[in-house]
Amino acid sequence: MATLLQPEKVLYLVRGEKKIRVPLSQLYFCRYCSELRSLECVSHEVDSHFCPSCLENMPSAEAKLKKNRCANCFDCPCCMHTLSTRATNIPAPLPDDPTKTTMKKAYYLACGFCRWTSRDVGMADKSVASGGWQEPENPHTQRINKLIEYYQQLAQREKLERDRKKLARRRPFMPQAFSQHTIHVVEKYGLGTRLQRQRSGAPISALYGLSLKEGEDQKEITIEPAQALDEVEPLPEDYYTRPVNLPEVTTLRQRLLQPDFQPAGASQLHPRHKHLLMKRSLRCRKCEHNLSKPEFNPTSIKFKIQLVAVSYIPEVRIMSIPNLRHMKESQVLLTLTNPVENITHVSLYTCEEEDPDDINSTAKVLVPSKELVLAGKDAAAEYDELAEPQGFQDDPDVVTFRKSNKIGFFIKVIPQREEGDVTVAFKLRHDFRNLAAPIRNTEEVEATSEAIWLTHHVELSLGPLAT
Amino acid sequence: MFIIGMLVPNSSNVKIAMGAVVCVESDIRGDVTIGARTVVHPKARIIAEAGPIVIGDGNLIEEQALIINSYPENMLPDAEDVEPKTMNIGINNVFEVGCVSQALKIGDNNVIESKAEVGRNVILTSGCIVGACCAVNTCEVIPENTVIYGSECLRRVQTERPQPQTLQLDFLMKILPNYHHLKKTVKASSTPARS
């Protein structure tokens, strides 16, 4: 039974730039555009950074400075688990009296999963619980930084030239927006993330002047080209004959997680600072409203704005599938759940013959022709044992049961193919009351929200034919 | 009546050394010898079906751990060439909650973590750690100081062996008698046993 509750069996079609078929639990609903949105047709924005183990918040500028790594937490280089600090007591000579020894606390890092310790790579125990650990220096850091500066300057110069050309061609009253092309150039070397958010309507002439001035003031940075060496260090003589010490060889994953050093030996695997995670907010690309905005606090999992599809669109779930046989009609039991608090009317339609959305179905389906009425979701209903029976007249051939905001109903499926999985598709049409509409100052306070009818394309995968 | 697979155990012959703390709720069957300073938690099971089990000193056997010396699966109990093999367990080992150990020879300072399974043909030397939920069913000798971890049972060698759990053992030997009845210890020498 648990397999039937899996939401991947019921897919809703999202008509965005790409046609995507995704379970309803992974979709968002923009109630201003009244359309379903998936993760691919929204724009993702970074809200905040935080460390997953110490849950420390970090502003974006600081995160960028620390290369998106936490200052206090480390990852095990062997199994990528979080390292914990352990203390031992070691005898150490007292500073005043070298002959006497006293127990002093020494701290080392240890992994609880693979039992790696910082002593394995030769890192000495520290006397401070946190903050004493240092990452090894990359010998090429200076050269890399110089190269990065040079290329950033180059990118900025290119961008200015491009904009100068545009400025010459365009008329003065047209917005001198940074074109899509320049935004890519800016992104190339990570110059400024603020520039991406500019829309074509925003006045940016002030900013434009600023960058010009900056460009002229910066001094020229030159770099020397890399030197090619003629001589390469020869391989040691026993390179082919020496037996491999397997525990000492690092795996590719361990090696590539430290791209600066890529150590081949396990005794050079140093721990790295833990990578930060981020909270993101989603925004509809058409109407620019926020669809999902999490809370700023890393310990909180709630959302300030949460426009998920399951709280607006009735959800279809498969309840039971009988044995499906080729060209024989069988009845599949589905449930429809109403997420909103008012009564919803749902009608189902079969897909037309040449429906461009209907590409996956391998069976014919007959849906109930009458309109199904779903009661509103009543949060207090589960505590009310003496619930009055709802006064809905249900056709017993179609509707099997009705429980608060859920009904079960039959659809008839005729598999058309002899082999393979059975997939059916139909259209779900329901009324949606848009509570986001602005409150009008009319006398009718309750009837301000008008119902609009939304149609969704739903696909069900009913599994293989019965043998 | 002949019962296959479930032998009537040869008279429960459990020798518990002085200083060991073995709770009454633990299930010990067969010819088992338990060393000094070993703690056996309630609901631990030590079953010596196909031969005796000798457990050394300072071991920690936690709840629902199963140490079993059983017949290999494809052999009937009454086959002629079956000779009882002794299972030897060394000192300072830790058998965490829910583990299953059938290894015939376990050395010292090993740790078998929760829900790990060690097969009959594995020989653990010293300082080995079999990680949680890792099943080791190969036919080999695990080298010293090996750590087996992860869902794919990856291995690595650690530089130091796990420390003996002396603090934990001392604590348990003080606290467990307050809450559980203990099995009587039997002294192997001639002096009478103290209850």
Whether this model's ipTM surpasses 0.90 comes out as: no
Closest CA in chain A for residue B162: A115
Same domain, A408 and A456: yes
Contact B131 A119 (CB under 8 A): no
Q: Is the model more confident about B74 or about A210? A: B74
Q: Is B149 helix (H, G, I), strand (E, B) or coil?
A: strand
Give which of A88, A115, A119 to mutate to test B binding, by max B Cβ within 10 Å. Answer: A115
Q: Mind telling me how many Å the CA of B158 is from chain A's nearest CA?
A: 7
* A156: Cα separation from own chain's centroid: 31
Are A119 and B159 inside 8 Å of each other by CB?
Answer: yes
Q: What is the mean pLDDT of residues A111-120?
A: 84
Identify the pLDDT of residue A215: 44
pLDDT recorded at residue A186: 46
Is the per-residue pLDDT at A204 higher than 60?
no
Q: Are residues A433 and A334 in the same domain?
A: yes
Q: Please state, in angstroms and rounded to a whole number, the distance separating the CA atoms of residues B52 and B64.
A: 20
Residue B61: both structure tokens together: 């056997």
In a domain, residue A303? The reply is no
Give yes or no: residues A345 and A423 share one domain.
yes
Share the mean pLDDT of chain A.
79
Shared domain for A250 and A371, answered yes or no, is no
Number of alpha carbons in the 13 Å side-chain half-sphere of residue B45: 12
Q: Has residue A258 got a pLDDT over 80?
A: yes
Separation CA A451–CA A430 (nearest Å): 9
- pLDDT at position A179: 45
Q: Are residues A348 and A457 in the same domain?
A: yes
Report the gap between the CA of A53 and the closest CA in chain B (Å): 20
Instruction: Note whether A266 contacts B159, CB cutoff 8 Å.
Output: no
One-letter amino acid of B158: Q
Of B131, B157, B160, the CB nearest to A247: B157
Would you call B176 helix, strand, or coil by DSSP? Answer: helix
Residues of chain A with pLDDT > 90, as a percent, come to 7
- In this structure, the answer to whether residues A350 and A269 fall within a common structural domain is no
Whether residues A114 and B147 touch (CB distance < 8 A) is answered with: yes
The pLDDT score that the predictor gives to residue A206 is 34
Query: Does the structure show a pLDDT above 80 at A102?
Result: no
CATH number (domain holding residue A356): 2.60.40.10
What's the total number of domains in chain A? 2
Using the Cβ of B158 and the Cβ atoms of chain A, whether some distance falls under 8 Å is answered with yes
The Cα–Cα gap between B91 and B94 comes to: 9
Judge whether B131 is closer than 8 Å to chain A, CB to CB. Answer: yes
A317 within a domain of the structure (yes/no) = yes
A247 touches chain B (CB under 8 A): yes
Residue A210: predicted pLDDT: 38
In this structure, the answer to whether residues A270 and A367 fall within a common structural domain is: no
The answer to whether B156 contacts A266, with C-beta atoms less than 8 Å apart, is: yes
Give yes or no: residues A340 and A460 share one domain. Answer: yes
Q: Which residue has the tokens 């047209």?
A: A174
Confidence of residue A218 (pLDDT cuts 50, 70, 90): low
| A324 and A260 belong to one structural domain | no
Name the pairing type of β-strands B141-142 and B123-124.
parallel
Site of tokens 């509707």: A399
Which residue in A has a C-alpha nearest to residue B149's C-alpha? A114
Residues 6+ apart with CB under 8 A from A197: none
Least reliable range by pLDDT among A178-192, A377-391, A398-412, B7-21: A178-192
pLDDT of A281 higher than 70: yes
Residues A337 and A390 in one domain: yes
A119 shares contact with chain B (CB less than 8 Å)? yes
pLDDT score at B188: 54
For chain A, the first-to-last Cα distance in angstroms comes to 20
Say yes or no: A253 and A335 in one domain: no
CATH fold of B14-74+82-179 reads UDP N-Acetylglucosamine Acyltransferase; domain 1 (2.160.10)
Cβ separation of B150 and A113 shorter than 8 Å?
Answer: yes
Residue B3 confidence (pLDDT): 46
**CB crowding A83-100: b at 16 or more within 10 Å, else e:** bebeeeeeeeeeeeeeee
A76/B contact by beta carbon, under 8 A = no
Mean pLDDT is lowest, of A261-275, A291-305, A350-364, for A350-364
A122–chain B Cβ distance below 8 A for any pair:
no
Are residues A115 and B158, on separate chains, in Cβ contact within 8 Å? yes
Domain of residue A332 covers 313-439+449-464
Mean pLDDT of A43-66: 87
Mean pLDDT of A2-19: 78
- Asked whether the beta carbons of residue B150 and residue A114 sit closer than 8 angstroms, the reply is yes
Q: Are A433 and A340 in contact (CB under 8 A)?
A: yes
Between CA B117 and CA B131 the distance in angstroms is 9
- Kindly give, in sequence order, each residue whose CB lies less than 8 Å from that of residue A127, ignoring residues fewer than 6 positions away: A104, A105, A106, A107
Q: How far is B157 from chain A (nearest CA, A)?
A: 6
The reply to whether A129 and A252 lie within a common domain is yes
CA distances from B28 to A56, B25, B38, B39, B89 (A): 50, 9, 14, 13, 15
Q: Rounded to two decimals, what is the model's pTM? A: 0.70
pLDDT classification of A207: cutoffs 50, 70, 90: very low
**pLDDT < 50: residue spans in chain B:** 1-9, 189-195
Residue A386 has what pLDDT?
58
Residue type, B136: V
pLDDT of B116 reads 92
A-contacting residues in B 58-77 (Cβ below 8 Å): none
Instruction: Report domain extents, chain B.
Output: 14-74+82-179
User: Least CB-CB distance to B129: which of A79, A115, A247?
Assistant: A115
pLDDT at A199: 39
* Cβ-based contacts of B162 with chain A (< 8 Å): 115
Average pLDDT over residues A346-373: 83
